[in-house]
Amino acid sequence: MSLSGNSKHLLALTILVACNNGGSATDTEGASASSSSTSNVTDGTGSSGNASNSNSNSATDSTVSGNSGESATSTGNPTEASATGTASITTDPLTSSTSNDTTTTIGDTTTTGDTTTTGDTTTTGDTTTGTTTDGTTTGTTTDGTTTDGTTGDPIICGNLQVVYRDFKPLHPDFGCHMFGNGARPGLVQQMLGADQKPVYNPNPPAPPGNWNGSNPQITSAQTYGQWYNTVDGTNFEVKGELTLMEIMPGLWSYASNSFYPLTDKGFGNNVTPNWSNGTFPDRNGSFTTEIHTSFAYEQGQVFNFQGDDDVWVFINGKLAMDLGGLHGPVAGAINLDNLGLIPGNSYSLDVFHAERCESGSNFRIDTSISCFEPQ
C-alpha cells in the first residue's frame, strides 16, 4: 500500500486492541476479576489509558479518542496474503480535495504515474494530496514509492507485514489462564534482544497500586520464548498484512473490534475447552502478532495504540509503549518528538501483540507516520 498525506501535522495515533466478554468491551481480561481497570503509565514515552468500555488515548500535543467498538473513519478489514482479519468497524476515508495550483519539484528525478520531472522543474495541472486514478500524487507514487526529503532517493512504502502465531487454548500463557484489570508494565526488558524480539523480564517491578490480576502474568521465560518464535507443535505461523487507511488528512488508521485474523486457520477454531472451560467454535482467539517495519522520522509524528491484551512497541530498538498483561481495552500514545530522533533519518518500529483470551479482541492503530518501509 502507498500511504500519502501531510505527515507533518501533529495528529494522534491510537492502537486499539480490546478483549471483550460476549462481544463487548470489559474492564477485566482473563478468567476472573472484580476491580475496574485504571490508567498505567509506561517509562515515559507511551502512556496507557483506562481499560473500560469508554476508552481515550492522547498524545502530548493532540488527542484522539475512541471506544473499542468505534472507529472515526477507518476500514477495519486487513488485507492479508494468507490471513485476513475480520473487522466490524468500517468508515469512509476522507477524500483529499484537488486544485489547479502550480507545483514545483526540486531535487532528484521523481516519477509520478507517467510523468517524470528532473532537477528544478515546474509542473502545472491537477494535483492532489493523495493518489489519483491518473497516477498523479504529491509525495507518493502509484507504485508505492516516495522520495527521501534529504537525499531524494526513492523510499518504498507499503502495508504492515505481519507474522501471526496460533496457540492452542491450553497453552500455559493463553486460553484465559490468567486475568488482569489493566496494563501490567515491566514484563519485558527495555531493549529488544539480538534476535529483534522482546526479552522476558524475570524480575518485573511492582504493579501499579490500583492493579489487580493474577501473578505471574507470564508463566516463565521458556513459555514466553514461544510467543514470537515458531515452534513446531506449539504454535502455527501464518503470514498476513494490515492496511492503514487515511481517515483524515495526515492520519492513518487500522481498527477492528473483532480482531480474529486466524479464524479457520492455524490449529483451527477454539473447539477445545480453554482453562476457563470455554469454547469458541466460530473463532480462533489465542495468538500473537509480530510487526517489523521502519519509517523516516519527521517532527510532529505520533503513534498510538488501543486494545488488548499485551502490546509492546519498540522504536529504534527501545521500548516506547508498554501495555503488557491481560486486560480490557487500554490506550497508549507515543510522541516521537520525545525520543531524541533526528529528522530525516530512518528508524525501526517493532510491534508485538498477544490475544490471550478468546472471548473478545480489539486492535487499533492511529498514526501520523505516512510511509512504512517493509523489512
Distance CA 138, CA 305 (A): 28
DSSP per-residue codes, 307-326: ESS-EEEEETTEEEEEE-SS
Residue 154 pLDDT class (50, 70, 90 cuts): low
Evaluate if residue 323 carries a pLDDT over 50: yes
33 occurs within a structural domain: yes
pLDDT tens for each residue of 36-65: 333 333 343 444 444 333 333 333 333 333
Instruction: Please give the grid coordinates belonging to residue 283.
Output: 473463532
Residue 103 included in any domain: no
Contacts of 371 (CB under 8 A, 6+ apart): 3, 7, 140, 146, 155, 157, 295, 296
pLDDT tens-digit readout, 74-100:
333 333 334 433 333 333 333 333 333
Q: What is the pLDDT of residues 182-194, one digit of tens each?
A: 999 999 999 999 9
Q: Which has more pLDDT, 63 or 213?
A: 213
In a domain, 119, yes or no: no
| Domain-embedded: residue 365 | yes
Asked whether residue 277 is domain-assigned, the answer is yes
> For 109-128, what is the mean pLDDT?
36
Number of domains in the chain: 1
With respect to residue 334, please indicate whether it lies within any of the assigned structural domains.
yes
pLDDT exceeding 90 applies to what percent of the chain? 57
User: Exposed, middle or buried, 15 (CB in 10 Å: 0-12/13-18/19+)?
Assistant: buried
**Share in percent of the chain as helix, strand, coil (round to 5):** 0, 35, 65
Handedness of CA 138, 141, 142, 145 (dihedral sign): negative
- Give the pLDDT confidence score for residue 30 in this predicted structure: 56
What does the pLDDT read at residue 342? 98
CA–CA dist 331, 39 (Å, integer): 9
User: What local confidence, expressed as pLDDT, does residue 374 receive?
Assistant: 83
Burial class (CB in 10 A: 0-12, 13-18, 19+), 353: buried
Domain range for residue 346?
A: 1-95+128-375
Does 121 reside within a domain?
no
Comparing 177 with 2, which gets the higher pLDDT? 177
Eight-class DSSP state of 43: S
User: Which tops the pLDDT comparison, 66 or 282?
Assistant: 282
Q: Which residue has the cell 488488548?
A: 308
The answer to the question of residue 113 being in a domain is no
Residue 153's pLDDT is: 60
Residue 178: pLDDT band with limits 50, 70, 90: very high
So what's the pLDDT on residue 156? 84
Interacting residues of 230 by C-beta distance below 8 A, sequence separation 6+? 165, 237
- The whole-model pTM stands at 0.66
Mean pLDDT of 248-261: 97
The model's pLDDT over 260-312, given as tens digits with 9 standing for 90+, comes to: 999 999 999 999 999 999 999 999 999 999 999 999 999 999 999 999 999 99
CA 51 vs CA 40, 48, 105, 303, 336: distances in Å: 10, 9, 47, 19, 24
